[in-house]
């Protein structure tokens, strides 16, 4: 089912994945309203960097996902909501867990309540692979147990369950997309791949990281965006949780070496204590089973396996190596 004639609200449109998603939706001919976080600078986040032909097609609503009245106002006149707005930094969730409950759980509730009252045709709620915790078996499918190993992951489990409860209780048309570790241009330096790239691009050859042995399933942002559009249009996706991942497992240490190889430099890695998660909070292993996405949505990653990861890293490195882009980041500062 295509929503080409529908108006689509994207919450968190000013962020890393949200801005890429908005741009691709507009390129494909969708009508988009971008919900961005209100600020006195009138900044639209990463959408400020979008091409003029994108911005000219864009309707922008500045608000706060924690405000139920503003959320409902933003959703009026929309048919579909792609809900990405959330706090996502794990270290900051140790520092300020209360804000994660307000933003991630209550923000999601605000979207669901408004969707129910306004008769929204579809809500796609964004989950995260962090809800699984350390893999109890691999690859991780959607039936894997959930484990809140950080306040962030606990808040996302709560938000996911809230979304499913509205589907079950009120038949609110909800689907849940569960992306694994998305990376690409514009990603915050609180994430490991930009942390590595920005340090190397700034001329460092000895870089600081946290744990090197945990494994991740890195998903290039173009694949994640394609997953959102597939699940939005997926006829059989209602009430379903669907993993979006590359089905390729790689350690943080090996990822750092791949990035150094792509950038043509040698790298030494220093483990810095401040970057380490508490022992029981570290997610040691993530590896996505993506069969359900293939079967229900016809979605497949275009940047899969080691070669796909290297292609995605190359595009990411090219973006970060542009001096204008690199200057937006503080390579010398640990960003929680």
Give the tokens for residue 303.
């940047």
Superfamily designation of domain 192-214+249-285+304-326? UDP-galactose 4-epimerase, domain 1 (3.90.25.10)
pLDDT at 276: 86
Looking at residue 101, what DSSP letter applies?
A: I
**pLDDT tens-place string over residues 73-119:** 999 999 999 999 999 999 999 999 999 999 999 999 999 999 999 99
**Do residues 180 and 243 make contact, with C-beta atoms less than 8 angstroms apart?**
yes
Dist CA 262 CA 311 (whole Å): 9
pLDDT at 97: 97
Q: Which residues of 259-298 are buried (b: 16+ CB within 10 A; e: fewer)?
A: bbebbeeebebeeeeebebeeebbbebbbbbbebbeebbe
pLDDT at 174: 98
Q: Which residues of the chain are modeled with pLDDT < 50? A: none
Handedness of CA 176, 177, 180, 182 (dihedral sign): negative
Reported residue count of the chain is 336
pLDDT at 208: 86
Dist CA 75 CA 67 (whole Å): 12
Q: Where are the beta strands (DSSP E) in 47-186?
A: 58-63, 80-83, 122-126, 174-179, 181-183
Concatenating the DSSP letter of every residue in 28-77 gives TT-EEEEEEE--TT---GGGGGS-HHHHTTEEEEEE-TT-HHHHHHHHTT
The secondary element (H helix, E strand) that includes residue 219 is strand 218-220
Query: Given the structure tokens 């004639």, which residue do they identify?
Result: 5
The predicted model scores a pTM of 0.96
Question: What is the third-level CATH fold of 7-185+219-247+289-297?
Answer: Rossmann fold (3.40.50)
- Sketch the domain layout of the chain as residue ranges: 7-185+219-247+289-297, 192-214+249-285+304-326
pLDDT at 239: 98
Query: Given the structure tokens 């570290």, which residue do they identify?
Result: 282
Dist CA 67 CA 69 (whole Å): 6
């Amino acid at each position: 089912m295509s929503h080409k004639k529908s108006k689509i609200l994207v919450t968190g449109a000013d962020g890393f994945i949200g801005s890429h998603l908005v741009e691709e939706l507009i390129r494909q001919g969708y009508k988009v309203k971008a919900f961005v976080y209100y600020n006195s600078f009138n900044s639209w986040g990463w959408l400020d960097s979008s091409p003029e032909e994108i911005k000219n097609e864009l309707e922008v609503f500045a608000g706060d996902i924690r405000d139920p009245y503003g959320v409902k106002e933003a959703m009026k006149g929309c048919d579909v909501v792609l809900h990405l707005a959330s706090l996502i930094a794990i270290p900051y969730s140790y520092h300020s867990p209360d804000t994660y409950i307000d933003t991630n759980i209550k923000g999601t509730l605000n979207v669901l309540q408004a969707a129910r009252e306004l008769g929204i045709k579809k809500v796609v709620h964004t989950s995260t692979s962090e809800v699984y915790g350390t893999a109890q078996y691999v690859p991780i499918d959607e039936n894997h147990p959930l484990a809140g190993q950080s306040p962030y992951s606990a808040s996302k489990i709560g938000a996911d369950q809230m979304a499913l409860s509205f589907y079950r209780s009120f038949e609110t048309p909800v689907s849940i997309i569960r992306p694994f570790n998305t990376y690409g241009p514009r990603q915050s330096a609180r994430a490991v791949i930009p942390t590595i790239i920005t340090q190397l691009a700034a001329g460092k050859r000895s870089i600081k990281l946290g744990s090197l042995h945990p494994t991740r399933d890195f998903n290039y942002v173009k694949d994640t965006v394609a997953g959102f559009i597939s699940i939005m249009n997926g006829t059989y996706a209602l009430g379903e949780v669907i993993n979006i991942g590359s089905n390729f497992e790689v350690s943080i240490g090996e990822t750092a070496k791949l990035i150094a190889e792509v950038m043509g430099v040698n790298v030494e890695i220093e483990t810095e204590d401040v970057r380490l998660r508490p022992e029981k909070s570290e997610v040691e292993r993530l590896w996505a089973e993506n069969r359900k996405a293939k079967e229900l949505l016809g979605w497949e990653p275009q940047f899969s396996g080691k070669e796909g990861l290297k292609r995605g890293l190359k595009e990411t490195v090219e973006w970060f190596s542009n001096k204008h882009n690199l200057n937006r980041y503080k390579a010398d500062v640990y960003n929680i």
